[in-house]
A = this chain, B = another copy of it.
Amino acid sequence: MPTPTPSRIDLAAHLARVRQRAPLVHNITNLVAMNSMANVLLAIGASPAMVHAREEAAEFAAIADALTLNIGTLSPHWVEAMDEAAEAARLTGKPWVLDPVAVGATAYRRTTAARLLERLPTVVRGNASEIIALEAGGPGGRGVDSSDPAEAAEQAATRLARRVGCVVAVTGEVDLVTDGRRLARVRGGHPLMPRVTTLGCALTGVVAAFLVGAEDPFEATVAALACYGAAGQGAGQGARGPGSFAVAFLDALHTLEGDALDALPPLEFHDAT
């Protein structure tokens, strides 16, 4: 019998698990995101490591607790290392998350993302344009910023989740999470979040951290997005622009607790159609 669609999720319990386990998250991410992703992972209580050389990526992926692959700044050696790291994660039973940055923009990204999808990610996280382009396998979208509302990606996300057998998270003003059978909407965050670079890339790492030790990847992904949104909502209160927002966001992740989680708009759960 499949897990029923939940009516609520104990966010504080998911967050406590991350902080208690301090999972080692191995990231082959883009060059823009490396520093901010590491700081975000440290702030939420995880232990980040960036290791991309073919000479050690698979060996490291087998040691780590989870893996993330981000195609934002590719090069041929990295693509090979990503492939081997994903295979090592699969063989050792570690969760891994694919972040198909600007996948619609070039043929190289489409080819690479399609190849990585065959390694069966636990979760795919992207914005609406990226999920639509990834599912379609064709061109679309110019850059790293989304031009489609999250809702428009619902159908693409559901199809992709069913085809790959993974969870798909479409993040935007309202986040959408589906495993092809269940669907959740997460509200929160702040309008300044897209004005700080790589907060989406860093969220991919947070999703990976929440997957470690979780029974249900769908619930863990929803919890990760909700905690991220709660921190963003809190950080936005005193921010004077994207500089002070970014600082307050790391502080908010580090100090996140019940009050901020309770301030989130309620999560919505549905059966996927």
Contacts of A249 in B (CB 8 A): 243
A27 to chain B, nearest CB (A): 9
Interface string of A82-103 (1 = CB under 8 A from B): 0000000000000000000010
Answer whether residue A246 sits at the interface, using C-beta atoms and an 8 A cutoff: yes
Partner of A243, one of B30, B47, B63, B251: B251
Answer whether residue A266 sits at the interface, using C-beta atoms and an 8 A cutoff: no
Answer whether residue A196 sits at the interface, using C-beta atoms and an 8 A cutoff: yes
From A77, which residue of chain B is reached at the shortest CB distance? B75
Distance between Cα atoms of A123 and B242 in the complex (Å): 28
Stretch at the interface among A5-13, A140-148, A217-225: A140-148
Distance between Cα atoms of A48 and B253 in the complex (Å): 26
Partner of A24, one of B48, B109, B142: B142
Contacts of A72 in B (CB 8 A): 50
Contacts of A142 in B (CB 8 A): 24, 63-64
Q: Are B38 and A35 in contact (CB under 8 A)?
A: no
Number of copies of this chain that the complex holds: 3
From A102, which residue of chain B is reached at the shortest CB distance? B49
Asked, given contacts A38-B197, A197-B35, whether A250 binds B254 with beta carbons under 8 Å apart, the answer is no
Contacts of A74 in B (CB 8 A): 53, 55-56
Q: Are A243 and B197 in contact (CB under 8 A)?
A: no
From A195, which residue of chain B is reached at the shortest CB distance? B42
Contacts of A64 in B (CB 8 A): 142-143
Answer whether residue A36 sits at the interface, using C-beta atoms and an 8 A cutoff: yes
Answer whether residue A118 sits at the interface, using C-beta atoms and an 8 A cutoff: no
Answer whether residue A169 sits at the interface, using C-beta atoms and an 8 A cutoff: no
Asked, given contacts A35-B35, A53-B74, A105-B60, whether A144 binds B241 with beta carbons under 8 Å apart, the answer is no
Interface string of A29-67 (1 = CB under 8 A from B): 011111110110011000111111101100110011000
Asked, given contacts A142-B63, A249-B243, whether A73 binds B51 with beta carbons under 8 Å apart, the answer is yes
Contacts of A246 in B (CB 8 A): 39, 243, 247, 250
Which of A43, A47, A63, A242 has its CB near the most chain B CB atoms (within 10 A)?
A242
From A240, which residue of chain B is reached at the shortest CB distance? B251
Distance between Cα atoms of A108 and B50 in the complex (Å): 14
Contacts of A243 in B (CB 8 A): 39, 43, 246-251, 254
Q: Are B75 and A196 in contact (CB under 8 A)?
A: no
Q: Are B53 and A242 in contact (CB under 8 A)?
A: no
From A197, which residue of chain B is reached at the shortest CB distance? B38
13 A-B pairs in the complex with CB atoms less than 8 angstroms apart: A24-B143, A34-B35, A35-B197, A39-B243, A42-B195, A47-B143, A47-B145, A49-B102, A53-B108, A56-B108, A241-B254, A242-B254, A247-B247
